[in-house]
Amino acid sequence: MKVYNTLTRKKEEFVPIEEGKVRMYVCGPTVYNLFHIGNARTFIIFDTIRKYLEYRGFEVKFVQNFTDIDDKMIRKANDTGTTVKELGDRYIMEYYKDADALKIKRATVNPRATGYITEMITFITELISKGYAYETDGDVYFSTARFNEYGKLSGQNLDDLMSGARIEIDERKKDPMDFALWKAAKPGEPSWESPWGPGRPGWHIECSCMAYDLLGETIDIHAGGTDLVFPHHENEIAQSESRTGKTFARYWLHGAFVNVDNRKMSKSLNNFFTAREILEKYDSEVVRLFMLSGHYRTQINFTMELLDSAKASLERMYNALTRLNGFLVSAPEGTDAKTIEMIDSYKAKYIEKMDDDFNTADAISVVFELIREINTSMDETSGKGTLEYAMSVLRELGKPIGIMQNEVGGSLEREIEELIEKRQQARKEKNFKLSDSIRDELSARGIVLEDTPQGVRWSIRK
C-alpha cells in the first residue's frame, strides 16, 4: 500500500509504527455552525480511508477533535446571546446528526479542546522550559526561529514564509512568524487559570495536545484539508517535535477543496451549501459517490447536475443488485468456478487501485466494469452460489466507499411501480408528453417497459 505524504511530496509505502495497527488523527470541525459540503468532503474522504484500512485488516484508532473554543465561536456566542459552551454543545450534536446521515463512522474518540486545558498548560510549560516558547503580558508565543525545520511541511523556509504571509504587527512578539500558544483573557471571553494568568489556548496547541494524549508521541497518519497545511499543521509539527524531539506524524494526508459551479466556495459569493441542505434532496450514498468520484487530492466541482449524474450512476449499481436478487428466487443450486474467478479478478483490481493512495475514482470505475461483466454473464440460469457471491462482492467493494449498502428489492421497485402508475394515468388523460417523459426517465435508468394485454411489465436492461 502506498500513500502520498505531503511532508515528502511523494508516494511512500505505508508501514505503520505497530504492525497491524494504525493511529490516525484528523482535524475536526470548529463547532459554531452546520458543516458545509467542503467540510463534508474532508470528513467523507478520511472516513473512507479509515474504512479501507480496516477492510485491509488494520485496527484503526481514529481520533477526530472538536474545536470548541475559538475566536469564531466567541463571536457567534456573543452575536446570538448564548455561551460558548452552549454553542459547542449544540453544534456537536448537529455534527453527529449530519455525519451519521452521511454514513460516517463515529471516531474511536472525539475529544473536545476544552477537555484538555490542563494538558495544554503542561505542554506549553515544557516548551517554555526547553526555550521554544516565551511569555509576554499573559500571552505565550512559540518561537519559530528556534525550530530549525520550520516550514518543512509546506516546503518553504522561514524567510519565504515570512515574505509571503500577511502578518499582523505585534510588538510583543520576538519574531513576526511566532504564533500564540496561550492567549491572555479579554473582557467577556471564556478563560482558564494558568501560570501566566487567566486566558485560553491557541488553536494549534489544541490538536497537538489531543493527539499526544490519545495517540502518543508519534502517530501514523495526520490528516485534514489542504487549507490546514500552513499554518495549522506546520505549527503542530513545530511545537510537537520541539517538545518530544521525535517525529510527530509519519504520514501527512490532505484532501482537496470543493468548488461550486467552478468557483471557490466562499461566504462573499454566497455559494455555500450545508450538508444538511443537500441531504434533504439526495441520499447519502449519492453524496458519497459524488465526493469520491475524484481522487481525494484533486479538487472537484460541485453542481446539482453532477449530483444528478451520481444519482443515476448509483441507480445503475442498485439495478445490478436488484437484478441478481430477482434471479435468486428461482436460481438452481450451484457455483460456476469461471464466474467466481472473473469476480475475484475485479476484486483484486479494486484493491490494487485503492492501495495506490486510496484512488477511489479508479476503484469506482472497476466496480462499474465488474457490474458490466456481471450483467453480461449472469442471468436466471446462474447458480445460486454464484449469484450470492456476486452480490456479496459488490456490497463488499462498496462498503469502504459507503455505497450499495441499502437493502434491494423494496424501495427501488416501489419507485418504479409508482412511476409506471403515474405514466398509465397520464396516458388515460391523453397527456402523452408526460407519459413519454416518464418512459424516457425510466429508460435512462436502465428500466425497459413492455406494454402487454395483461398490463405493463418492466425489466432491467442487461
Question: pLDDT at position 456, please?
Answer: 80
pLDDT average, residue stretch 363-371: 98
Residue where a domain stops, chosen among 235, 259, 275: 275
**Same domain assignment for residues 271 and 340:** no
Are 312 and 392 in the same domain? yes
| Distance between start and end Cα atoms, the chain | 35
- Cell numbers 508565543 correspond to 141
CA triplet 90, 95, 96: central angle to 5 degrees?
105
Provide the pLDDT confidence category of residue 444 given band limits of 50, 70 and 90. confident
Question: What's the Cα-to-Cα distance from 448 to each of 8, 23, 409, 460, rounded to whole Å?
Answer: 53, 49, 17, 6
Cα 210 from Cα 29, distance rounded (Å): 14
**pLDDT beyond 70 at 333:** yes
The pLDDT value recorded for residue 359 is 98
CATH number of domain containing 343: 1.20.120.640
Mark whether 267 and 354 lie in a shared domain: no
Task: Write down the pLDDT at residue 411.
Answer: 52
Question: Of 275, 296, 314, at which residue does a domain stop?
Answer: 275
Strand 249-255 with 219-225, pairing: parallel
Overall average pLDDT of the 339-365 stretch: 98
HSE-CB of 83 using CA atoms within 13 angstroms: 5
Residue 207 marked in a binding site: yes
Predicted confidence (pLDDT) per residue in 381-432, tens digit: 999 999 999 999 999 999 999 999 998 765 556 677 788 888 888 888 989 8
- Mean pLDDT check: name the lowest of 246-250, 315-319, 405-409: 405-409
Q: Is residue 368 part of a domain?
A: yes
Q: Which residues are 23's β-sheet partners?
A: 61
What pLDDT does 87 receive? 98
Please tell me the distance from the alpha carbon of residue 94 to that of residue 44, in angstroms, as a whole number.
16
117 and 211 assigned to the same domain? yes
User: Regarding predicted confidence, which is higher, 250 or 164?
Assistant: 250
Residue 284, in any domain of the structure: no
Q: To the nearest 10°, the Cα dihedral for 335, 338, 340, 343? A: -150
232 is known to lie in a ligand binding site? yes
Average pLDDT over residues 255-280: 85
**Residue 406 placed within a domain:** no
166 part of a folded domain: yes
Q: What is the mean pLDDT of residues 55-79?
A: 96
Neighbouring CB atoms inside 10 A of 364's CB total 22
Do 242 and 336 share a domain, yes or no?
no
Give percent of the chain with pLDDT exceeding 70: 95
- Residue 137 is predicted with a pLDDT of 94
Q: Is the pLDDT of residue 68 over 80?
A: yes
> Per the domain annotation, does 298 fall within a domain?
no
pLDDT the model gives residue 155:
92
123 & 247 share domain: yes
Tell me: do 28 and 67 sit in the same domain: yes
Q: Is the peptide bond before 231 cis (omega within 30 degrees of 0)?
A: yes
Q: How far is C-alpha 87 from the chain's CA centre? A: 24
- The pLDDT of 96-115, averaged and rounded, is 98
pTM: 0.88
Question: Both 54 and 121 in a single domain?
Answer: yes
Residues 420 and 391 in one domain: no
Within-domain flag for 252: yes
Q: What pLDDT is attached to residue 454?
A: 66
Q: Whole domain around residue 441: which residue ranges? A: 411-460
Q: Is 94 annotated as a binding residue?
A: no
pLDDT tens for 189-217 read: 999 999 999 999 999 999 999 999 999 99
pLDDT greater than 70 at residue 460: no
Instruction: Indicate the pLDDT class of residue 461, thresholds 50, 70 and 90.
Output: low
Q: What is the pLDDT of residue 168?
A: 61
Question: Pairing relation of β-strands 21-26 and 219-225?
Answer: parallel
- Asked if residue 177 and residue 60 are part of one domain, the reply reads yes
pLDDT number for residue 102: 97
Task: Categorize the per-residue pLDDT at 61 as very low, low, confident or very high, splitting at 50, 70 and 90.
Answer: very high
The CATH number linked to 45 is 3.40.50.620
Work out how many domains the chain is built from and give that number.
3
Asked if residue 27 belongs to a known ligand binding site, the reply is yes
Confidence of residue 358 (pLDDT cuts 50, 70, 90): very high
Q: Answer whether 169's CB lies under 8 Å from 181's CB.
A: no
Identify whether 168 is part of a domain: yes
Mean pLDDT for all residues in the chain: 93
Q: pLDDT digit string (tens) for 134-186?
A: 999 999 999 999 999 999 999 988 777 776 555 566 778 989 899 999 999 99
Give mean pLDDT, residues 12-30: 98
The last residue of a domain, from among 358, 374, 401 = 401
Residues 382, 431 within the same domain: no
In a domain, 61, yes or no: yes
97/81 Cα distance (integer angstroms): 24
Indicate whether 349 and 439 sit together in one domain: no
